[in-house]
């Protein structure tokens, strides 16, 4: 199954996800909202996703649609029900991509829970982890700014981050990532000038790794061309996913909560089988029924 739902294919399709959608694609997305469903929360989520999918670069429109959906209630219950964390983190990502970092941070923080990872709901677990990854990137940028200020005052970087422990509240940068781990920090040398110390450093989150600790993914929401068919009629529901951009690859079968070899987690399945919700840890991804 190597190559199925491959991250390289996902990254390649990111480039195409930023192009305008054809009328056919818009119609397919709209069909998610018009098909009858037994679950109003799934309908509400599908309507939000249609706006996001129609033009992912129009952040202001998507943010407004997310806020509207998050405020709607049916009696005492949010209309989005268990899809609330999905829309909350989707809105937070658009806020971040739109440059509203502080508001994005607050939006991500609303889904955090110390008990999330023992929750029976994959949406709760996935939203918590997704939010922590993006909040870690925001915090990484804060530490970077503090290091630049330190360098401006001392013409060198500190030997470790403990120097910031003495800073007063409000000026002290985060000394650990959102998973509770201290940052990896190490002074490095120039390639050819080995004697100059304090002039370069490596810093990243242990959980995310060196390449994923910055904001390189902001503005690049992926829309991989994933389709699925149901395997059997038993419980739990099992879906077989395939990559329509790489039809020769062997399909992958997953139940809700399962993870593909490439790291895509199946988070939820629409009751009317109109869509499947997945995540690659940084983004929410929708798969459509084969033939739709």
The residue among 278, 288, 283 whose CA lies nearest residue 122 is 278
Q: How many helices (H) and strands (E) does the chain have?
A: 7, 10
Predicted confidence (pLDDT) per residue in 156-167, tens digit: 999 999 999 999
pLDDT for residue 238 is more than 60: yes
SS3 153: helix
SS3 175: coil
Q: 47-51, 168-172, 178-182, 201-205: which range is least confident on average? A: 168-172
pLDDT of residue 3: 41
Tokens of 200: 């370069």
Q: Where are the domains of the chain?
A: 135-212, 222-292
pLDDT of residue 118: 84
Pairing of strands 276-279, 284-289: antiparallel
Cα–Cα distance for residue pair 103/65, rounded to 1 Å: 16
SS3 103: helix
pLDDT of residue 2: 36
| Tokens 């929401």 found at | 221
- Whether 238 and 255 have beta carbons less than 8 Å apart is answered as yes
pLDDT of residue 35: 45
pLDDT for residue 144 is more than 80: yes
pLDDT of residue 38: 52
Instruction: Check residues 23 and 277 and name the one with the higher pLDDT.
Output: 277
Cα–Cα distance for residue pair 50/91, rounded to 1 Å: 13
Pairing of strands 73-74, 77-78: antiparallel
The whole-number average pLDDT for the span 84-101 is 97
Q: 40-54, 69-83, 219-233: which range is least confident on average? A: 219-233
pLDDT of residue 62: 98
The whole-number average pLDDT for the span 145-149 is 95
- Supply the mean pLDDT for the chain: 85
pLDDT of residue 125: 96
């Amino acid at each position: 199954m190597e190559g199925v739902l491959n991250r390289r294919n996902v990254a390649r399709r990111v480039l195409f996800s930023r192009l305008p959608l054809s009328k056919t694609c818009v119609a397919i997305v709209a069909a998610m909202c018009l098909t009858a469903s037994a679950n109003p929360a799934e309908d509400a989520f599908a309507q939000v996703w249609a706006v996001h999918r129609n033009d992912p670069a129009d952040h202001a429109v998507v943010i407004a649609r997310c806020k509207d959906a998050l405020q709607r209630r049916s009696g005492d219950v949010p209309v989005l029900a268990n899809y609330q964390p999905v829309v909350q983190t989707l809105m937070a990502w658009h806020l971040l991509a739109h440059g509203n970092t502080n508001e994005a941070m607050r939006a991500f923080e609303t889904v955090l829970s110390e008990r999330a990872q023992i929750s029976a709901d994959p949406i709760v677990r996935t939203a918590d982890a997704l939010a922590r990854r993006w909040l870690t990137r925001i915090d990484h940028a804060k530490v970077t700014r503090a290091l630049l200020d330190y360098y401006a005052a001392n013409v060198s970087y500190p030997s470790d981050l403990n120097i910031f422990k003495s800073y007063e509240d409000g000026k002290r940068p985060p000394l650990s990532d959102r998973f509770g781990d201290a940052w990896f920090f190490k002074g490095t040398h120039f390639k050819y000038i080995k004697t100059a110390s304090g002039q370069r450093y490596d810093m990243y989150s242990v959980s995310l790794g060196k390449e994923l600790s910055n904001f390189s993914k902001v503005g690049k929401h992926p829309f991989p061309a994933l389709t699925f068919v149901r395997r059997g009629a038993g419980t739990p529901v099992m879906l077989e996913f395939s990559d329509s951009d790489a039809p020769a690859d062997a399909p992958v079968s997953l139940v809700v909560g399962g993870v593909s070899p490439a790291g895509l987690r199946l988070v939820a399945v629409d009751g009317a089988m109109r869509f499947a919700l997945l995540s690659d840890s940084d983004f929410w991804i929708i798969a459509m029924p084969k033939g739709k």
